[in-house]
């Protein structure tokens, strides 16, 4: 049996203990239009957590690998849906499977901790080939809806998944 390499990361809420680490996460300048208007992207995330656009509460998240900040994103929880926003992997850590591992960790978190949530959704720019490949390979499909000028993609959250023996 082949055993694939897995990428070991951990997810943390951005808080008083790690917000400066989150600010170290930077994308390439040409990638910025796909994820935020300014960087560090964590600054935009933290501003939105304060402002709460559309009245929704945001949770700011940091991705760590071996204690080093390698990515950021935010989650917004609304009824049966969780929205993944401002997802950015640091430019020096891209193409190492970190985004894929982070998406899978978020899905596991929702399966285990948010029984009312049945969909993880996000938007992705039509020119963002990398992100579309990532989301397609992690089970997202376009819904046909648009939000803020971008197509909406969705992945089902399945609770009570049978345990593997």
Nearer to ligand COA, 107 or 116 (CB): 107
List 122's β-bridge partners, or say none. 153
Nearer to ligand COA, 8 or 129 (CB): 129
**Binding-site size, ligand COA (CB under 6 A):** 22
Kind plus residue range of the DSSP H or E element containing 41: helix 41-51
Handedness of CA 65, 8, 74, 35 (dihedral sign): positive
CB of 163 to ligand COA, least distance (A): 26
What are the φ/ψ torsions at residue 57 (nearest 5 degrees)?
Answer: -80, 130
3-class state of residue 71 by DSSP: strand
Among 31, 39, 82, 154, which residue sits at the site for ligand COA (rule: CB under 6 A)? Answer: 31
Contact letters for ligand COA, residues 65-104 (x by CB under 6 A): ----------------------xxx----xxxxxxx----
Residue 73 CA to residue 10 CA, distance in Å, equals 13
* 25 lies in the binding site for ligand COA (CB under 6 A): no
Upper half-sphere CA count for residue 24 (Cβ side, 13 Å): 13
* 137 lies in the binding site for ligand COA (CB under 6 A): yes
Nearer to ligand COA, 145 or 159 (CB): 145
List 123's β-bridge partners, or say none. 152
Write the CA distances from 113 to 79, 107, 157, integer angstroms.
14, 10, 11
Residue 138 CA to residue 135 CA, distance in Å, equals 5
CB of 162 to ligand COA, least distance (A): 26
* 128 lies in the binding site for ligand COA (CB under 6 A): yes
Q: Per CB under 6 A, which region of 59-67, 105-113, 129-137, 139-147 contacts ligand COA?
A: 129-137
CB of 137 to ligand COA, least distance (A): 5
| Residues lying near ligand COA in the complex (CB under 6 A) | 27, 31, 34-35, 87-89, 94-100, 124, 128-131, 133-134, 137
């Amino acid at each position: 049996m082949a055993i694939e390499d897995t990428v070991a990361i951990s997810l943390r809420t951005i808080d008083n203990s790690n917000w400066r680490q989150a600010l170290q996460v930077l994308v390439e300048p040409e990638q910025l239009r796909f994820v935020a208007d300014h960087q560090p992207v964590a600054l935009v995330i933290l501003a939105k957590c304060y402002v709460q656009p559309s009245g929704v509460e945001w949770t700011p998240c940091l991705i760590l690998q071996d204690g080093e900040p390698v990515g950021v994103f935010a989650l917004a929880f609304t009824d049966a849906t969780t929205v993944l926003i401002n997802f950015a992997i640091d430019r020096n850590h891209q193409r190492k499977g970190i985004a894929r591992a982070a998406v899978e960790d978020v899905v596991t978190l929702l399966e285990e901790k948010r029984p009312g949530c049945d969909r993880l959704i996000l938007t992705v720019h039509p020119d963002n080939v990398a992100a579309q490949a990532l989301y397609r390979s992690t089970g997202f499909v376009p819904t046909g809806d648009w939000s803020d000028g971008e197509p909406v993609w969705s992945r089902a959250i399945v609770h009570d998944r049978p345990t593997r023996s």
